[in-house]
Structure 1
């Protein structure tokens, strides 16, 4: 199979050939008319649900996993981490088992889901840093409990978000890192010393930095500055235009530079029509026409993200003033690097043939996915336009 497109970082026109799920060549060609931008398949490290499907409902089913996977592919995401959040040990275990079974039974899901993100329950119980996580289930790290969850997941937990100030968190972080699990700091009110200790123990990432925090913080020091300044930490950001004000996003991206990563943190209401919905987490919510998801009772309080990564990439370019190439890097090679996904995130011979072909006008605006390629096969194609070439 062959695809033609324009590289988002350099603007170069290329033809990419793939065989047996692997990129065989990336060849520069002359300027072409009506070809899309082309990039490695996008990677989202934090997906709670989408399109009415949920990884954090009372029961997670194979239908949820397949439904989210199809929705992600339609939006250019070829790799994502289903994110299971704070809850009872039983509910977490059930969700992990359902995701594992879907990975085993569906070739498509198995190809898209290289691991699971466990966000909680070892987080701050303080209002603000806790975010929407249920305080009743917040607790200190327990290695026996975690080992049971890892067994339930089929050893698929690859990323864990933890608050390093919890009792026992620092040695727990060390054990996770020694086990090859990526450790991220999040939903925390840790001190400078606790953050540094966590990094020394093996933490390498901050989860949706700038969110999951107190509404009011000391001018300095505080846990946001500490994480922004720590060169040992990468950081994920939610660039949906709602979670971070444009100037905040711009400043944070400048601080983290090549260690900034974009995530959607999308929930089940993403991709659904505007309106009011019942939520299993927190109170009823309202999805507004501008894409903002809030509690129904108070439109000033966010109830999660309702946007997928394609929206975030476009929003970051427009709101933070970064280039399209940098936004794509933050959604491809950077998450692949921090997670150790060695065959993902780059367009080069020998890499997985995961591609996203999309339109994005020079004047800015909405990003439109034309085609998504997973392991050398087209898995989503805009029915109005066909851009790959059989060869």
Structure 2
């Protein structure tokens, strides 16, 4: 496909010449519904400059729609982090164009080790509608996505209230049983947060919360395809089980994603090691300390992990999350066609573990900010 662009807007599309390079791909701008930071910038520091830096670095890699993920923290820190996103949107046209929503992953998560993941147990608490309303007041008019562990007492009522307020509820970091998953779905939950991760290390063979979410057509599942969080067979089975349009890719990237390999110290994981392939580990161990590749790398790796096509991977990183946003009232993301303001051209051949980004259209063109 070829695009005719004027003033940063796609005016028309047409078939590409047949003698073009078969390893050059043109796709809508990528849509990441779960990302914590990138390139040394962190959405969870409560600083507008960090938000702008992360967004600029992600856009340069083709992720033109960014939903910052704010993780479990004290009530005051959560409000500060959300406010920083909104300050950055008001001050920076690129952030305003690229950030159409915010995802709060916690604090309404399971306190159980394993299911809690890296979230600080001191900041885990029961779902609270009053706290949710305080987030909405800060983030308005942006829609909110909120991850909830549905086994909390009162969680079903909270989900019902949140959905009535226009909040999109995702299930994750949970030890819920199948009945609790079903009750959350009946109350209006529509997403699964990084399905297969944020769960206890041991599960009943069946039923369990993973099978229950795979079997629920009402739940569209986010999946991390870095090659570390889910093995290839599990990832393939999940994609096929959810069917066409039932799953999408997320990076869940932390601030060290896109940084040079080496030893680092982080506020959450402490001493960590970043390997050249993007594996982020607790120093001296094999335990993961977060995700450290971006969405562009994740879509490049999906075919090698699952034998699914790159076309399928691109759809899971554009069209499907774009539809999730559309259901929340954010239109026009993850598609190509007249009126589109975001596209990415990249090089990828079978077997490549990453893409080479060649050009990015929009949402607002500007060079990436320098690292912190």
Task: Give the TM-score category using the shorter length.
Answer: over 0.9
Q: Is the aligned partner of 1:148 residue 2:137? A: no
Q: Is the aligned partner of 1:369 residue 2:326? A: no
Distance across 2 between alignment mates of 1:231 and 1:157: 23
Q: Is contact 2:51–2:85 with CA below 8 Å preserved after alignment?
A: yes
Q: Is contact 1:371–1:380 with CA below 8 Å preserved after alignment?
A: no
Residue of 247, 271, 283 corresponding to 1:284: 271
Other-structure match for 1:5:
none
**Gaps in structure 1 of 5+ consecutive residues:** 1-13, 382-391
Q: Is the aligned partner of 1:328 residue 2:319? A: no
What are the equivalent positions in structure 2 for 1:161-240 lying under 5 Å apart? 161-240=147-226
Q: Is contact 1:184–1:207 with CA below 8 Å preserved after alignment?
A: yes
Q: Is contact 2:71–2:106 with CA below 8 Å preserved after alignment?
A: yes
TM-score under structure 1 length normalisation = 0.89
User: Shift of the alpha carbon at 1:179?
Assistant: 2.0
Deviates more, 1:227-236 or 1:366-375: 366-375
User: Shift of the alpha carbon at 1:30?
Assistant: 2.9
1:134-184, Cα deviation, whole Å (9 max, x unpaired): 111111111111111221223434211111111221111112212222110
Q: Is contact 1:260–1:334 with CA below 8 Å preserved after alignment?
A: yes
Q: Is contact 1:373–1:379 with CA below 8 Å preserved after alignment?
A: no
Match of 2:312, SS state, is helix
RMSD: 1.6
Residue of 343, 346, 356 corresponding to 2:335: 346
1:210-256, Cα deviation, whole Å (9 max, x unpaired): 10111121111111111111111110000001101111111111111
Other-structure match for 2:345:
357
Distance across 1 between alignment mates of 2:38 and 2:143: 20
Match of 1:44, SS state, is strand
What are the equivalent positions in structure 2 for 1:247-286 lying under 5 Å apart? 247-258=233-244, 259-286=246-273
Residue of 14, 37, 40 corresponding to 2:28: 40
Deviates more, 1:81-90 or 1:157-166: 157-166
Count, aligned residues? 363
Residue of 72, 80, 83 corresponding to 1:94: 80
Q: Is the aligned partner of 1:26 residue 2:13? A: yes
What are the equivalent positions in structure 2 for 1:113-124 lying under 5 Å apart? 113-124=99-110
User: Shift of the alpha carbon at 1:344?
Assistant: 1.5
Q: Is contact 1:173–1:203 with CA below 8 Å preserved after alignment?
A: yes
Match of 1:269, SS state, is coil
Match of 1:345, SS state, is coil
Match of 2:253, SS state, is coil
Q: Is contact 2:297–2:353 with CA below 8 Å preserved after alignment?
A: no
- CA gap 1:31/1:239 in 2 versus in 1, 3 angstroms: same
Distance across 1 between alignment mates of 2:28 and 2:20: 21
Q: Is contact 1:158–1:181 with CA below 8 Å preserved after alignment?
A: yes
TM-score under structure 2 length normalisation = 0.94
Match of 1:84, SS state, is strand
**Gaps in structure 2 of 5+ consecutive residues:** none
User: Shift of the alpha carbon at 1:380?
Assistant: 6.0
Q: Is contact 2:3–2:11 with CA below 8 Å preserved after alignment?
A: yes
- CA gap 1:363/1:189 in 2 versus in 1, 3 angstroms: closer
Q: Is contact 1:100–1:156 with CA below 8 Å preserved after alignment?
A: no
Q: Is contact 1:73–1:379 with CA below 8 Å preserved after alignment?
A: no
Match of 1:215, SS state, is coil
Other-structure match for 2:280:
293
